[in-house]
């Protein structure tokens, strides 16, 4: 089953990018762009519409947290759902990520079940947040 959301995956590891691309394709996520760093990710995000960014925490030049902060600072893309991925289970990093505006996080290595659950979680979180905001606006 093809899933129509457009996903940008950002990871500096070629191996992770290749495995993730195949895994996402097998899950039906065919609208997937894969890039190796934050600068290229920002260029794509500012020139093409995406429904979700999945960003590695530990990258050279621009970390996942720095990329997330850059996304949240840009009006055109500030509301993009972001899922941060990390191989390090450090609670303080996760708190920093959530404070900076990550919608959720996922530990590496991840599998198909985790991807499906986390993507669903991100969009459910966004739906509830929008519903609460609509109630407040009413």
The pair of three-digit structure tokens given for residue 115, joined into one six-digit string: 């991807």
| Choices 3.40.630.30, 3.30.505.10, 3.40.50.2300, 3.20.20.150: CATH for 7-137 | 3.40.50.2300
User: Above 80 in pLDDT, residue 112?
Assistant: yes
User: Above 80 in pLDDT, residue 10?
Assistant: yes
pLDDT score of 133? 66
CA 110 → CA 23, 113, 116, 117, distances in Å?
10, 8, 10, 11
pTM score, whole prediction: 0.90
Q: Is residue 98 very low, low, confident or very high in pLDDT (cuts 50, 70, 90)?
A: confident
Element (H or E) spanning 68, and its range?
helix 64-73
Question: Is the distance from CB of 71 to CB of 53 less than 8 angstroms?
Answer: yes
**What whole-number distance in Å separates Cα of residue 73 and Cα of residue 118?**
24
> What is the residue extent of each domain of the chain?
7-137
Q: Which residue has the higher pLDDT, 40 or 87?
A: 40
In 1-138, where do the E strands start and end? Answer: 7-10, 32-35, 52-56, 82-86, 104-107
Angle at 93 between CA 90 and CA 94, to 5 degrees: 90
pLDDT score of 103? 93
Average pLDDT score, the chain:
90
Q: Is residue 2 very low, low, confident or very high in pLDDT (cuts 50, 70, 90)?
A: low
């Amino acid at each position: 089953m093809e899933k129509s959301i457009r996903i940008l995956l950002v990871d500096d590891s070629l191996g992770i990018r290749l495995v993730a691309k195949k895994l996402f394709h097998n899950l039906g996520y065919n609208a997937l762009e894969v890039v190796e760093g934050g600068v290229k990710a920002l260029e794509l995000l500012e020139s093409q519409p995406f429904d979700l960014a999945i960003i590695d925490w530990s990258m050279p030049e621009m970390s996942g947290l720095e990329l997330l902060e850059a996304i949240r600072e840009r009006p055109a893309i500030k509301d993009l759902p972001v899922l941060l991925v990390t191989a390090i289970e450090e609670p303080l990093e996760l708190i920093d990520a959530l404070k900076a505006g990550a919608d959720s996080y996922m530990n590496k290595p991840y599998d198909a079940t985790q991807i499906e659950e986390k993507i669903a979680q991100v969009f459910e979180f966004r739906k509830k947040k929008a519903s609460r905001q609509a109630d407040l606006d009413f």
